[in-house]
Amino acid sequence: MISPREAPSSAEVVTKVNDVLVGLGILTFTLFPFALAGIVLVVAPLVLVVVVGLLVAIPVVLPLWLARSLIRRWFRRRGAARAPVTAAPGRGERLTPDRGDEAARHGDQDDREQVWGSRGSRWDRARAEHESEKAA
C-alpha cells in the first residue's frame, strides 16, 4: 500500500531553492564569456545596419518632410475656408462651401451622403443626438 506523501518542511524547500540558485550561478559565470561574444556578434551588425539605413533615409526623408511642412504652412496662411477638401480617391473633389450658414460650416448630411457615399460615422450621429437634446 502506498503511504500518503508528506509536505516538505520550509527548511527543505529553502535548501532546494538555494541549491538551484547556486547551480544557475555557476552556469552563468561559466557561460558568460560565450554570451558576451554572441551579443557582440549579433548587436554590432545590427547597429551597422541601422546607421547605414539612417544615412540612406535622411537624404530622402528630409526634403519630403520639409516640403510637407511648407505646404501645411501655406494652407494655414491661405485660411481654412479656401482650402480644398478632397474626397476619397476616384470620387472627385469637393470644395469647401462658401455660404455662411451653420449647415455649411459643419457640413450638411445631404452633402456628406453625396460626396462620401455614407450617412456619417457613429461619432457624427452621437454628436447630432447630443445637440438635439441640448437644444430641446
How many CB atoms neighbour CB 24 within 10 A? Answer: 10
128 closest CA partner among 93, 117, 116, 112: 112
**What does pLDDT average to in each consecutive run of 10 residues of the chain (136 residues)?**
83 96 94 88 93 95 93 81 52 48 48 49 74 80
Q: What is the pTM of this model?
A: 0.34
Q: How far apart are CA 97 and CA 104, in angstroms?
A: 6
The pLDDT value given to residue 3? 78
Instruction: Report yes or no: 58 and 86 within 8 Å, Cβ to Cβ.
Output: no
Q: Which three cell numbers stand for residue 80?
A: 481654412
The pLDDT value given to residue 91? 52
The pLDDT value given to residue 30? 92
The pLDDT value given to residue 84? 55
